[in-house]
Amino acid sequence: MATIVLIEDHPIYRDGLKTNIMEAFEIVGEAGMAAEGLRLVIDKSPDIALVDLKLPDYDGFRLTKEITGMTSTKVMIISNHSRIGFVKQAVRAGAMGYITKESGKECVIKGLNMVKKGQKFIDNSLSNRMCDYFFHNEGLEARLIMYEKLSEREQSIVGLLIKDFTPKEIAFELDINEKTVSYHKKRIMKKLNLKGKGDLIKFAIDIGLIV
């Protein structure tokens, strides 16, 4: 029986999800925070981590990168969000599956079984949107590529800017000075071809950084 760690911050939903899959999978750990979830995955070495995108300490994209970069555990995302930008960002982070919280029990189990076998799975409800994306949304792909070309430090600053951190708060958070923050911010806006905070927020929504 495949083993799973659930990383989801809403206890009621987590309990419901556990009830739906416990007959087919062994739940070896549960967490409501990303950092706690990462520790569990490292400690328990489950076959699959079922990860919510929106977690209190940091998002599921970052957690997915950490899990897939540090362990052999496969990741399947479960989210309220069905925007294709979120799906693409999750896949680029290393997720092998993506389902929505509206998915039925059969869909969840099917997805987990496919991911366990090393196959990719996307919720059926997203299929038509994925087709639209591939045929009509070249701009989104370009924005994702632009974001990925930012340095790790620049991506960290983007993450704090969209959370409305001030330059002083960003400097404190990253242990750098405010002048360095301002320098990076100008470079980020230039690299992403953005003019102001509103453009940055829209960009972040489009590529799935704001969940």
Domain range for 31 is 3-132
- Convert the pLDDT of each residue in 76-125 to its tens digit: 999 887 777 788 888 889 999 999 888 888 989 999 999 999 999 988 77
Q: Tell me, what's the pLDDT at 188?
A: 95
Same domain as 141, residue 114: no
Question: Using 50, 70 and 90 to split pLDDT, how confident is the model at 136?
Answer: low
Residue 27: phi, psi to the nearest 5?
Answer: -85, 110
How far is residue 188's CA from residue 174's CA, in Å, rounded to a whole number? 16
Q: Which residue has the higher pLDDT, 127 or 176?
A: 176
DSSP state of 5: E
Average pLDDT over residues 145-168: 90
Average pLDDT over residues 40-68: 94
Question: Using 50, 70 and 90 to split pLDDT, how confident is the model at 133?
Answer: low
pTM: 0.69
Same domain as 177, residue 86: no
Q: Point out which residues pair with 52 in neighbouring strands.
A: 78
Same domain as 104, residue 35: yes
Q: Which domain CATH number covers 149?
A: 1.10.10.10
Domain end among 80, 107, 132? 132
Question: Using 50, 70 and 90 to split pLDDT, how confident is the model at 2?
Answer: very high
Pairing of strands 3-7, 26-31: parallel
* Residues shown for the chain: 211
How far is residue 211's CA from residue 208's CA, in Å, rounded to a whole number? 6
Average pLDDT over residues 139-148: 81
Q: Which residue has the higher pLDDT, 211 or 111?
A: 111
Domain end among 132, 164, 179? 132
| Structure tokens that stand for 155 in this block | 């991506």
- CA–chain centroid gap for 132, Å, is 21
